[in-house]
Chain A
């Protein structure tokens, strides 16, 4: 998984004078308050810290409140997903519209229907919605599956990832690790070609571009929908 890095930073932490009798505790508290928040200085979400060295001299800031500035060197473990980095996460919910994923147990990620490549279709299986590949029957994304997806954007405030399953090397990790090398390029393109006509038909049916990746069940009710559209 990408998106994790370690950065060494030189920081100055300002400590309230009331905490001046327990500086190291106050420093740790300040650093802990950075956990699971996006830090602009570090350019990432702080997941862990490790103090390398603590300057024994602290500067007292002149002013109304004589805050104490303590200099220190810290190693940060950061989570900083950038567009197109590959992340891994566990699927927690699947709806028609979204695949909901949790990355590293704390960051929520959603993959919208339009960001899922057409190879996948949403189906109902045993009362649960799953995304299944049309080309590889064993490639299924359901609740609990670990998937690899690429990052579209990242909301730094709430740590929300908008992901995408468009690239070929994304999908269920279990399946990808097992089959990516085995499935030959030609094999896949053959299968793709077989799917192609079906997809064209679908696209002809839909006027709106955003509705192009409809699933099979949608296709069955096409006639009804056309009627509906004419009415409106």
Chain B
């Protein structure tokens, strides 16, 4: 057995152990521990004294500490939670982050031995290890430097190895670990680095050796925390706004508005503070979503993506789907789908369709699901056209069946699920009609759908759904000759957004498009390659009206930001259908990377819902 020699010669009864083997030392320690029960605490108190954290410990003290910890690991069966409370307390105050590798190893060994020796200590030890996920506050900032990365790895690799070892010795320990990890998770208001490093550890646990048993709780917990941050960033103010006002915008205004943001002196102090806080939350959320993306990537390369997705999906269904207009968290699902279009991508679409179609779900869940579905099918570049058609078919079938049994007149509140279904069909087709029409088989399928009957039904979905979507849809439908009697669909004067407001309810689900361009700078760069932007969508009327521009895009050259503006001044309608409802509440800094629309109702022309493009990255269009 390896022997640890203690070099100092100080006259103490506990450490007077020069030349003794480890075993003798262990026996001596056992004696000291047993003596406490009989009232002899002198040696014991001295022993506890060695464990108390000190600043700047020298090599001698390190040696004593290592010896003490090793000897204690050999005497764990003699440690009593009642008699040796002060000893356990002293150990619990020790932090791996403060010591060198020798002490770390000895301390980890002690923790593992304690956990395995007695059921009583399992929770205590797990908590102790979880506590190390985050470095002490005075180290948090220094860890940002490259030079300290080693330090971080030294500590965390030991912590995870210890957790694994405990799981091997006490197979049910992971079940107790999950609630501890979730309970100790830093709150949404904690420091960014703190929460990021903690989530890193959670994801490491998920992909590690004990991921099998803790994985099912780690990812949902991370998603929940993302959502918590997400809802911190407000959508407020939007409810009071008139929908038409929000969607109308001029591109010149965008630029002006962006300029204004740079020097927003007019912002009142309190509001400014609020916005600054918001900005911190945004950054935190961005970093965490990127972590989640990277984790999904690593899952994909290790072939676990489907398994992880199967954990994420129920968690999405339970929390994100029912959250009040989640803004960014859903992109985790989007990215997982993008990584595996055939598996996860299809499954996500099918699950949403199923939630919408099932009567047992509450209306608000069904409306939310179809809003996600519409936005997902419209925006996901990776989905095959056949799948999109299949889902449109099932939506149309559902709405048609509803029309057949429903004989009442237009009533936005009463038939809100139906209207949201109709709007979803139109929204998807706005993005996809051209590509579907290009494939003869799918074109035939689309033409055979009983869509006309739905639009002409007494429930008049075209009057109720969001005017911008309806106008764009009708325009494209006309160009594609989707309907025989397209002349009968002239609604320009009757479009009334108040009706859409009514079916959308308090939550304004009528204008909830969850997968609108992601506003988070870092996350957006991951999403971009898989994302369809409205400016890149080829509509059915493109050929007729914009031949010049088509030539440009056909030749493969990227349409730049300037081109975009030019085109829009030429053709005021429908260039950007980046339909986002969010607005106004974003802070100044966030606005810099995104152009918030300005309400300008001066022009009578109806535009597709338009807004926010990351202006810092022109090619992102």
Binding site for B on A (CB under 8 A): 21, 36, 92-93, 95-98, 100, 102, 105-108, 110, 112-113, 124, 155, 157-160, 208, 210-211, 217-218, 221, 224-225, 228, 231-232
Contact = CB atoms under 8 A, between A and B. Distances in A.
Given A95-B113, A96-B26, A160-B118, A105 B171 contact: yes
Given A36-B175, A158-B122, A100 B360 contact: no
A100 to B, nearest CB: 5
Given A97-B74, A158-B119, A221-B23, A232 B171 contact: no
Nearest to B1: A124
Given A98-B117, A160-B119, A228-B20, A108 B171 contact: yes
Contact of B24 (A92, A100, A107, A224): A224
B394 interface: no
B328 to A, nearest CB: 29
B176 interface: yes
Contact of A232 (B13, B77, B113): B13
B278 to A, nearest CB: 35
Contacts of B360: 21
A98 B77 contact: yes
Given A157-B119, A228-B20, A108 B13 contact: no
22 contacts: A95-B113, A97-B75, A97-B76, A97-B113, A97-B117, A98-B117, A100-B116, A100-B169, A102-B169, A108-B119, A108-B170, A108-B171, A110-B116, A110-B117, A155-B120, A158-B170, A159-B119, A159-B172, A208-B31, A224-B24, A228-B17, A228-B24
Given A228-B17, A232-B13, 14 more contacts: A95-B74, A96-B74, A97-B76, A98-B77, A98-B116, A110-B117, A110-B118, A124-B1, A155-B120, A158-B176, A210-B30, A211-B27, A221-B21, A228-B24
Interface string B161-180: 00000001111110110000
A93 B169 contact: yes
B213 to A, nearest CB: 10
B3 to A, nearest CB: 11
A36 to B, nearest CB: 7
B28 interface: yes
A contact patch SS: mixed
Given A97-B74, A98-B77, A232-B13, A108 B172 contact: yes
A108 B171 CA distance: 6
Closest 4 pairs between A and B when the two form their complex, measured CB to CB: A160-B119, A158-B119, A155-B119, A108-B170
B contact patch SS: helix
Contacts of A110: 116-118
A21 B360 CA distance: 9
A226 B168 CA distance: 38
Interface of B: 1, 13, 16-17, 19-21, 23-24, 26-28, 30-31, 34, 74-77, 113, 116-120, 122, 168-173, 175-176, 360
A225 B30 contact: no
A102 B16 contact: no
Contacts of B13: 232
A172 B24 CA distance: 29
A232 B28 contact: yes
Contacts of A231: 16
Contacts of B16: 231-232
Contacts of B117: 97-98, 110
B169 A221 contact: no
B105 to A, nearest CB: 15
Contacts of A100: 116, 169
Nearest to A215: B23
A17 to B, nearest CB: 14
A178 B295 CA distance: 51
A106 B172 contact: yes
B77 A112 contact: yes
A160 B118 CA distance: 7
Nearest to B17: A228
A93 B168 CA distance: 9
A225 B407 CA distance: 98
Contacts of A225: 24, 27
Contacts of B17: 228
Contacts of B119: 108, 155, 157-160
A100 B115 CA distance: 11
Nearest to A96: B74
Nearest to B112: A93
B122 A224 contact: no
B74 A221 contact: no
Contacts of A224: 19-21, 24
Nearest to A108: B170
Contacts of B120: 155, 158
B127 to A, nearest CB: 14
Contacts of A93: 116, 168-169
B229 to A, nearest CB: 28
Contacts of A106: 171-172
Nearest to A105: B171
A155 B16 CA distance: 38
Contacts of A107: 171-172
A154 to B, nearest CB: 9
A98 B76 CA distance: 10
A224 to B, nearest CB: 7
A213 to B, nearest CB: 12
